[in-house]
Homo-oligomer: A and B are copies of this chain.
Amino acid sequence: MASRALTQTLADDPLGGTVRRTVLPNGLRILTESIPAMRSVSFGVWVGIGSRDETPALSGVSHFLEHLLFKGTKRRSALDISAQIEAVGGETNAFTAKEYTCYYARVLDADLPLAIDVVCDLVTESMLAEADVETERGVILEEIAMHDDEPGDEVHDVFTEAIYGHHPLGRQISGTVASISALSRKQIDGFYHRRYLPSTMVVAAAGNLDHAKVVREVRAAFDRAGLSDTAEPMARRSRTTRVPSRSGQIVVRSKDTEQAHLVLGCLGYPRQHDNRWAVGALNNVLGGGMSSRLFQQIREQRGLAYSVYSFTSQYSDTGLFGVYAGCAPGKVEEVLDITRDELARVAADGVTDAEVERGKGMLKGAVVLGLEDTGSRMSRLGKGELLYDELLSVDEILRRVDEVTPEMVRQAAADLLARPMSLAVIGEFDDQDFVGALD
């Protein structure tokens, strides 16, 4: 059991964090950042399984499972789980993404042993009782319904489906009413025991902690669950499935809303693409802040929208780029025209050196300012290990951002923004209203 001290600390980090990494014999990776200046600890178990690992019949099972793990273990009822953490003023929760699921707790440092015990217990020894499956099915159907009442969020799902179609990435994390209604306890339990193996998990913790003690307690918890060894360590699966290159899709979801909600965008780049820093700066220039082109053009100069921004999403083998705007239904054409003009202009002419500097400044600020609490530092460790297979130090990230040149941003713009765009719309429209909208 090798414990290796990593040197990925924040240079001049006034909080003085030290990162360490240990791999247990069962394949479980444990990363901690010891930050004596903090009073809290965030502890998380990151599982490398998400909605893209589901078949159509199992759509939503990762998220359903995430809910069910809080419903009780051999040693704890659902109320025990939440009450034990809440009694000491802590919080515990979880979230499911397309390529991973995270269970976490944040507590005062003295309560870390409790947090480790509770989170490891629910991840490894959940009961998935039949009655709880039925109750939680209702909760998830309500979660889906709630999401459908938030068109500004929902339009992102419509856009993702427009781009990825029937590829697993095109499906919603929560599943559909049909798939959730049909999932059986047996299916969920099978998914749980096949997929939730120590070798697919990363434990991450940050705050006032002792690495060796965390390793000991996590190991004890996994031993108790009979997960000391992984008989058949699951091969780290490559997710380079064939991603469809759909383009020019226009999807309109007709709904009685006050605003028209739209996303215009295209396929972007995978998580580890060499140009990721240049694309990050480009995204900031286009629609990443109040000084960005789209914010200035659409909101500041014309007052057409309250919320307008661009975004990127990254997966292991693909990615997305898009622009969101919410505007009056009668202004959709104008907003769309301005957006398409601006993207075309940047594709053709690039952006100014001053804009590139600003885009880079925003990237660097987000990195440094985003690491002041233990939760974000814990996430940095978990995501870095699970999704990037490397943990860049903050200094290394800042250095790579500094290396981005205006020319690199222009090249990224010319490549990305010349791609055929797709469009998703929610509002009081029908398909006819957008025929030819992308011509």
Q: List the interface of chain A (C-beta within 8 A of B).
A: 12-15, 36-40, 70-71, 78-79, 81-83, 86-92, 106-108, 134-143, 145-146, 148-152, 208, 256-259, 261, 284, 289-291, 295-296, 299-307, 326-328, 357-358, 361-366, 368-369, 372-374
Contact = CB atoms under 8 A, between A and B. Distances in A.
A300 B79 contact: yes
Contact of A139 (B89, B134, B256, B305): B305
A36 B136 CA distance: 47
A78, A363, A364, A374 pick with most chain B CB within 10 angstroms:
A78
A82 B368 contact: no
A83 to B, nearest CB: 4
B301 A366 contact: no
Contacts of A79: 291, 296, 300
A301 B78 CA distance: 10
Nearest to A300: B78
Contacts of A146: 152, 258-259, 306-307, 326
A67 to B, nearest CB: 10
A358 B328 contact: no
A419 to B, nearest CB: 27
B145 A259 contact: yes
A291 B83 contact: yes
Nearest to A153: B150
B361 A88 contact: yes
A303 B38 contact: no
A364 B14 CA distance: 26
Given A149-B151, A365-B91, A139 B306 contact: yes
Contact of A291 (B82, B89, B290, B299): B82
Contacts of A145: 258-259, 326, 328
Nearest to A134: B303
Contacts of A327: 142
B86 A289 contact: yes
A94 to B, nearest CB: 11
29 contacts: A14-B36, A14-B38, A39-B372, A40-B369, A81-B290, A82-B289, A83-B291, A83-B358, A86-B290, A87-B357, A87-B358, A87-B361, A91-B289, A91-B369, A107-B369, A108-B365, A108-B368, A135-B303, A139-B306, A142-B305, A146-B259, A146-B307, A148-B258, A149-B150, A149-B257, A149-B258, A150-B150, A150-B152, A372-B374
